[in-house]
Structure 1
Amino acid sequence: MNTNDHSIDINMTDFAMAFEELTRIIIRLPSIEKLSFTTLSVLHTLSRKSPMRLTELTATEQITQSAITQLVTRLERDGLVERRPDPGDGRVVLVHITEEGAKIIDSRRSERIAHLSNMFEKLTPEEQTAIAGAIPALMRLSEIGNNNV
């Protein structure tokens, strides 16, 4: 390795597989709220980026315009989101998460935190330290990924 090269040799396959498996575990955690993955994904996206145009949600969630329109209509009927005109362009509708929608996301996050805490306790102190030290880099990796979506 070149001494000016600061890259670290990492097995990206193992890295991706670890994240895929953890994501699978987290997504499938039992919950009081029985909502579809797509519904939860839309609510989660809106909890971070509300308000959004329907076209933005279509691109972010990678589903059709028709599907996102139907989903937002259902979520609006259930009181989890609301549509409001864009103050800058009256032809555009913005989707906002409601307090009730935000409560669902907060509740699921609390459930995940409790589950992950139980898993974390089973790690060795060295493993716990390694994960704690990686959190800033993982947060930065998330930022980079979100900027590319």
Structure 2
Amino acid sequence: MDKPTHLIEYETMLLGRHRHPDRSAYILLSRIRMEGMMSIGQLSEAFGLDVSTLNRHTSALLRDGLAERIPDPEGGIARKFRLTEAGERYLDDERARNIRGLERVMADWTPEEVAAFAAYLKRFNTDVERLGGRPWPRPDRGSQQGG
């Protein structure tokens, strides 16, 4: 591991072990919240996943009452997924739990270190998204939840 990219690869692999057990629900709900209602086709395009995979994930959201499937309000043929009140609460609770965990991990970091790390993560993610052709919507600074 003599190159910085080797170390980055290893550290991102280690980071992956800390993922939430129901990461797909959290990510799907986050995307729907940011974009608004989405069809299975739109989700497939946004995530680069086949429809059958997304059907499994969205079926779990429906079963758990976190999302509902409704007719397209704009009159389109495809039905759309939207968050239920339970889905909104789940997403808010999970985000707050994640933020509390990050704050515990970075308790000894200076505000400047936290800001620099956030900026590098954003740059890394946006470059990955650019290369993959799938940009992810981001909240503006004023509307970020949890501060």
State the partner residue of 1:5: none
State the partner residue of 1:7: none
Structure 1: 5+ residue stretches without partners? 1-9, 29-34
Select which of 106, 109, 132 maps to 2:115.
132
- Contact 2:33 2:83 (C-alpha < 8 Å) held by counterparts: yes
Percent of matched pairs sharing the same residue = 21
- Contact 1:38 1:61 (C-alpha < 8 Å) held by counterparts: no
Count of aligned residue pairs for this structure pair:
130
Instruction: Give CA deviations for 1:56-80 in whole Å, capped at 9, x if unaligned.
Output: 2224445432332243234224321
State the 1:140 CA deviation.
Answer: 4.2
* Matched residue SS, 2:78: strand
Q: 1:118 to 1:134 in 2, by over 3 A?
A: closer
Instruction: Give the distance between the partners of 1:97 and 1:81, measured in 2 at CA.
Output: 4
- Contact 2:44 2:51 (C-alpha < 8 Å) held by counterparts: yes
Matched, 1:53 2:39: yes
**Which ranges of 4 or more aligned residues in structure 1 deviate by more than 6 Å?**
none
- Contact 2:106 2:114 (C-alpha < 8 Å) held by counterparts: no
Instruction: Give the distance between the partners of 1:133 and 1:40, measured in 2 at CA.
Output: 25
Instruction: Give the distance between the partners of 1:37 and 1:141, measured in 2 at CA.
Output: 20
Q: More strand by proportion, 1 or 2?
A: 1
Structure 2: 5+ residue stretches without partners? 135-147
* Matched residue SS, 1:52: coil
Task: In structure 1, give the amino acid aligned to 2:74.
Answer: G
Q: TM-score when scaled to structure 1?
A: 0.66
5 Å-filtered alignment, 1:19-38, equals: 19-25=12-18, 27-28=19-20, 36-38=22-24
State the 1:120 CA deviation.
Answer: 0.8
Q: TM-score when scaled to structure 2?
A: 0.67
- Contact 2:37 2:82 (C-alpha < 8 Å) held by counterparts: yes
Task: In structure 1, give the amino acid aligned to 2:107.
Answer: E
- Contact 2:32 2:38 (C-alpha < 8 Å) held by counterparts: yes
Larger Rg: 1
Instruction: Give the distance between the partners of 2:14 and 2:126, measured in 1 at CA.
Output: 21
State the 1:54 CA deviation.
Answer: 0.1
- Contact 1:85 1:92 (C-alpha < 8 Å) held by counterparts: yes
